[in-house]
Structure 1
Amino acid sequence: MKTTGGTDDQKRRAGERAAELVTDGTTVGLGTGSTAAFAVRAIARAVDDGLDVRGVPTSFATRELAREEGVPLVALDEVETLDLAIDGADQVDDDLNAIKGGGAAHTREKVVDAAADRFVVVADPSKTATTLDRAVAVEVLPDARTTVAARLRELGGDPTLRRAERKDGPVVTDNGNLVFDCEFGPIDDPATLSSDLSAIPGCVEHGLFVGMVDEVYVGTDDGVEVRTRG
């Protein structure tokens, strides 16, 4: 379930501004989605100009884009730490908690983003909100989909198995799992919900990113608004 909204110019401003954080010798997590793609392309142009960087992609799509654009890549297990991660979000609240998973890449995104010393979200204004209220993506083991769905309902959620576009059947993640989009309404306590979701057996990962984001770069019609934690 990909989210829409915002203009390409807004997304480009956010992505390109965040790409300016990448300095010589940086190992950077490369996020997934349309706004993060602008950052990947900007980093590639800097590489063409001689910048020495290594990128760690968060999805198959990002890996393909980075290869096409000429960004040198390494696997996450080949590095001890990441200096920076730049990634998009489906929604970010006033406390810089985020919902991700519109592209079904949130499991690897969370691993990469959590490993970075600095995690910057790039977004357009349509992705900002006072309180998170979008559906939360929950990646599940295929055999556990029934029991996980029941537990999600016990937590007050309304889970829907994500269906693939232009093919029969459900979406299958890069990890070979299924995805529920779970509506909870306004999420007043993201930290508690995050812990409850993580405790469900068969839940591989969920799209709530709580206490992880260091900064948000919001592209606007005439610039970039930078939001920082605290």
Structure 2
Amino acid sequence: MSATDTSGPDLRRAAAARALDLVKPGMRLGLGTGSTAASFVTLLGERVRAGLDVVGVPTSEATRVQAEREGIRLATLDEMPQLDLTIDGADEVDDALRLIKGGGAALLREKIVACASRRMVVIADAAKRVETLGAFPLPIEVNAFGLAATQLAIAAAIGKAGCTGGIRLRVGADGAPVVTDGGHRIVDAHLARIPDPEALPAALGAVPGVVEPGLFLGIASAAILAAARDGAAHVPVLGALG
């Protein structure tokens, strides 16, 4: 049963509600981007309107707009460069808590905010858990200048890192390239599997024009992965929440 199946439990909301238990008064929170993170922002807004005092740093303009609508007090990372906790989603997570992120084209800001936090906790439905990363196309944020040359270099770097597959510039419904909040583009690498997740970022990082790949390694401390069982949502945890 999927998270969008209206006949079953709302898995995104279930994972977000479990993460909300980690939030304490006075916390400085990183607010993630994407549909599951949006569920968390909605629930956080309810708590804030009931009197919870926290400050959030959004990872995208979309999250900023939602958080402001929910009445959550916000700051920038320049104003508040050290955070207590970031709650964010993931496109894939393996048993070592390695992630693929960037389906929402916010991976650079998401990684900056997560790395400025004492803890990052992932919220997702259990279908995002995989044995080997790579079935979800790996987003790579790139500079718009020299895009064709950068794409050729990315393809070569992927091969040197032991991966196979093609790359594709991400475009929107209008056929125009997707532009990130930072003014960059997204190249998606369709790799099927990433046998050595630690080798790939180093190879991609050596390519001029690559801003950041969507591999999050050694950043998440736990993942709350909601699953449907007997018509109800269960929220097992991978890693340690404390």
TM-score per shorter chain, which class?
Answer: over 0.9
- Whether 1:84 aligns to 2:92 is no
Q: Distance in 1 between matches of 2:83 and 2:176?
A: 36
Instruction: Name the counterpart of 2:100.
Output: 99
Q: What displacement does 1:203 show?
A: 0.5
The runs of 5 or more residues in structure 1 that have no matched partner are none
Instruction: Name the counterpart of 1:147.
Output: 149
The structure whose Rg is larger is 2
Say whether the 8 Å CA contact 1:194–1:210 is kept in structure 2. Answer: no
Q: Distance in 2 between matches of 1:168 and 1:197?
A: 26
Instruction: Name the counterpart of 2:202.
Output: 195
TM-score computed with the length of structure 2 as normaliser: 0.89
Q: What displacement does 1:197 show?
A: 1.4
Q: Bigger shift: 191-200 or 5-14?
A: 5-14
Q: Distance in 2 between matches of 1:144 and 1:77?
A: 30
Letter of the 2:146 partner, please give it.
A
1:23-62 to structure 2, matched below 5 A, reads 23-62=24-63
Q: Distance in 1 between matches of 2:208 and 2:125?
A: 35
Q: Bigger shift: 139-148 or 57-66?
A: 139-148
Q: What displacement does 1:184 show?
A: 2.1
Q: Distance in 2 between matches of 1:45 and 1:169?
A: 37
Q: Distance in 1 between matches of 2:36 and 2:145?
A: 34
SS in 2 for 1:142: coil
Instruction: Name the counterpart of 1:223.
Output: 234
Instruction: Name the counterpart of 1:66.
Output: 67
- Whether 1:159 aligns to 2:170 is no
1:113-132 to structure 2, matched below 5 A, reads 113-132=114-133
Q: Bigger shift: 87-96 or 151-160?
A: 151-160
Q: What displacement does 1:187 show?
A: 0.8
**CA offset digits 1:35-73 (Å, max 9, x no partner):** 111111111111111111000000011001101111110
Letter of the 1:213 partner, please give it.
A
Q: Which has the higher helix share?
A: 1
Q: Bigger shift: 134-143 or 150-159?
A: 150-159
Q: What displacement does 1:110 show?
A: 0.4
TM-score computed with the length of structure 1 as normaliser: 0.94
SS in 2 for 1:118: strand
Q: Distance in 2 between matches of 1:164 and 1:203?
A: 20
Instruction: Name the counterpart of 1:112.
Output: 113
SS in 2 for 1:149: helix
- Whether 1:137 aligns to 2:139 is yes
Moved over 3 A (4+): none
Q: What displacement does 1:6 show?
A: 2.8
Q: Distance in 1 between matches of 2:112 and 2:81?
A: 13
Q: What displacement does 1:80 show?
A: 3.1
**CA offset digits 1:66-104 (Å, max 9, x no partner):** 011111100011013100000000010111100001010
State percent identity of aligned pairs. 45
Q: Distance in 1 between matches of 2:140 and 2:131?
A: 22
Letter of the 2:152 partner, please give it.
A
